[in-house]
């Protein structure tokens, strides 16, 4: 329901977020709801990574203790410990997906994969039980193949296509797409392939992160034409493209020196402003009428998490009212610098 001044969204869902552990988690987990969201699809790249059902359930318990009013959908980290039996166990325990990180491409990806073939039995089991494969879609930089952060995503796309061809019933999500090539590839594939888009990639291009390490994330933001492709597919209201914020907090000192050759502190932090920021950006490129699809219904449908009667009462209201974004979010000794720090947003949460 919307008028010129007010928009109501049924149960916004963030289908890709980093909630960390320990004191940093205590700071950032309550920001999911502060940013307007009632569902969080939680990434497993902790130290150590979440590789078993027990670990994922314990982590879910930690998050529920920090904010019980968010639905946390849990994921496992694709690694050699993961067996088809563990997949069946995880599925029975309500774990929703498995996240694949190519080795070395981003934060805590040292234990990531080098080839998909050894995991085919795991993917077969996931297809059987209906678990989702979440792909970080980048090839590690390599001068021998002319691969660097700017073409790492397009060079990854053949892997997405071949996984889909081999496992056509396996639901696969290409995470945080940044290029026109990625948008076109996902559109060309079947209904079992979805794609998340972050809020920050709707705003940034190379010019914004080269020399500004707080805007450095993986995959890096690309060319203006790539950003235009992300905006176009949202304007079109394509139902397989939905929000996954990839909101990724890091200590300010680590962010200040982050570079593509040391991807340890890759990440942009958007959680506490996520819904107003997304509304602001969609309005800026003429897609405000697609907001509810992009932040709620499309992703929920892909994951089979449609809004029920009670959840629809958990709707969130945005009002057209300017606010200035805080520069830093803090809890005791923990601090995170916000995306859009000190800038104005046109929309506020009620």
Ligand X SMILES: O=C1C[C@@H](C(=O)O)NC(=O)N1
Q: How far is the CB of 264 from ligand X (least distance, A)?
A: 8
Residue 133: phi and psi, rounded to 5, are -100, 120
Q: How far is the CB of 215 from ligand X (least distance, A)?
A: 10
Q: Which is nearer to ligand X, 29 or 45 (CB)?
A: 45
105 to 134: interface string for ligand X, x by CB under 6 A: -xx---------------------------
Q: Which is nearer to ligand X, 239 or 260 (CB)?
A: 260
Site size toward ligand X, by CB under 6 A: 11
Binding of residue 267 to ligand X (CB under 6 A): yes
Going by C-alpha positions, the residue among 176, 130, 170 that lies closest to residue 156 is 176
Q: How far is the CB of 82 from ligand X (least distance, A)?
A: 19
Bridge partners (DSSP) listed for residue 215: none
Q: How far is the CB of 107 from ligand X (least distance, A)?
A: 3
Binding of residue 136 to ligand X (CB under 6 A): yes
* CB-based contacts of 9, cutoff 8 Å, min separation 6: 36, 275, 291, 292, 295, 296, 315, 316, 317, 318
Q: 209 with 258: CB under 8 angstroms? A: no
Binding of residue 27 to ligand X (CB under 6 A): no
CB atoms within 10 A of CB 145: 11
Q: How far is the CB of 138 from ligand X (least distance, A)?
A: 8
Secondary structure of residue 218 in the 3-state scheme: coil
Looking up tokens 């001068």 gives: 143
Binding of residue 255 to ligand X (CB under 6 A): no
The per-type count for the chain, helices as H runs and strands as E runs, is: 14, 14
Which one of 9, 18, 50, 63 is in contact with ligand X (CB under 6 A)?
Answer: 18
Binding of residue 248 to ligand X (CB under 6 A): yes
Question: Which spans in 81-193 are helix H?
Answer: 84-92, 120-129, 152-166, 180-188
Three-class HEC string of 269-328: CCHHHHHHHHHHHHHHCCCHHHHHHHHHHHHHHHHCCCCCHHHHCCCEEEEEEEEECCCE
Binding of residue 153 to ligand X (CB under 6 A): no
Q: How far is the CB of 109 from ligand X (least distance, A)?
A: 7
Q: Which is nearer to ligand X, 107 or 338 (CB)?
A: 107
Q: Which is nearer to ligand X, 231 or 247 (CB)?
A: 247
- Cα distance between residue 72 and residue 305, in whole Å: 12
Q: How far is the CB of 234 from ligand X (least distance, A)?
A: 20
Q: 28 with 40: CB under 8 angstroms? A: no
Instruction: Find the binding residues for ligand X in span 177-236 (CB under 6 A).
Output: 217-218
Which one of 86, 246, 292, 311 is in contact with ligand X (CB under 6 A)?
Answer: 246
42 to 61: interface string for ligand X, x by CB under 6 A: ---x----------------
Secondary structure of residue 203 in the 3-state scheme: coil
Q: Which is nearer to ligand X, 211 or 309 (CB)?
A: 211
Q: Which is nearer to ligand X, 96 or 266 (CB)?
A: 266
Cα angle, residue 208 at apex, residues 202 and 214 outer, rounded to 5°: 95
Q: How far is the CB of 106 from ligand X (least distance, A)?
A: 4
Q: 113 with 143: CB under 8 angstroms? A: no
- Enumerate binding residues for ligand X (CB under 6 A): 18, 45, 106-107, 136, 217-218, 246, 248, 266-267
């Amino acid at each position: 329901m919307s008028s010129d001044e007010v928009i109501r969204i049924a149960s916004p869902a963030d289908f890709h977020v980093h909630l960390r552990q320990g004191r940093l988690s205590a700071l950032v987990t309550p920001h999911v709801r502060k940013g307007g969201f009632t569902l969080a699809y939680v990434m497993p790249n902790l130290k150590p990574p979440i590789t078993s059902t027990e670990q994922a359930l314990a982590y879910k318990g930690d998050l529920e203790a920090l904010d019980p009013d968010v639905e946390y959908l849990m994921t496992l980290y694709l690694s050699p410990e993961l067996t088809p039996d563990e997949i069946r166990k995880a599925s029975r325990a309500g774990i929703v997906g498995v996240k694949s990180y190519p080795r070395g491409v981003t934060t805590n990806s040292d234990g990531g994969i080098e080839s998909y073939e050894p995991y085919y039995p795991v993917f077969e089991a996931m297809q059987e039980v209906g678990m989702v494969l979440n792909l970080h879609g980048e090839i590690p930089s390599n001068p021998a193949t002319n691969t660097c952060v700017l073409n790492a995503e397009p060079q990854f796309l053949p892997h997405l296509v071949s996984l889909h061809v081999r496992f056509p019933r396996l639901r696969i999500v290409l995470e945080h797409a940044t290029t026109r090539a990625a948008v076109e590839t996902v559109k060309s594939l079947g209904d079992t392939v979805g794609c998340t888009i972050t809020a920050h990639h709707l705003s940034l291009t190379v010019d914004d992160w080269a020399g500004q390490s707080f805007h450095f994330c993986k995959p890096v933001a690309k060319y203006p034409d790539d950003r235009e492709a992300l905006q176009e597919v949202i304007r079109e209201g394509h139902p397989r493209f939905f929000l996954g914020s990839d909101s990724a907090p890091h200590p300010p000192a680590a962010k200040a020196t982050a570079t593509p050759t040391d991807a340890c502190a890759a990440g942009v932090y958007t959680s506490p402003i996520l819904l107003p920021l997304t509304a602001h950006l969609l309005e800026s490129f003429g897609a405000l009428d697609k907001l509810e699809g992009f932040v709620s219904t499309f992703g929920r449908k892909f994951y089979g998490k449609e809004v029920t009667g009670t959840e629809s009462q958990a709707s969130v209201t945005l009002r057209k009212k300017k606010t200035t974004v805080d520069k830093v979010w803090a809890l005791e000794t923990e601090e995170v610098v916000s995306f859009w720090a000190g800038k104005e947003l046109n929309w506020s949460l009620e």
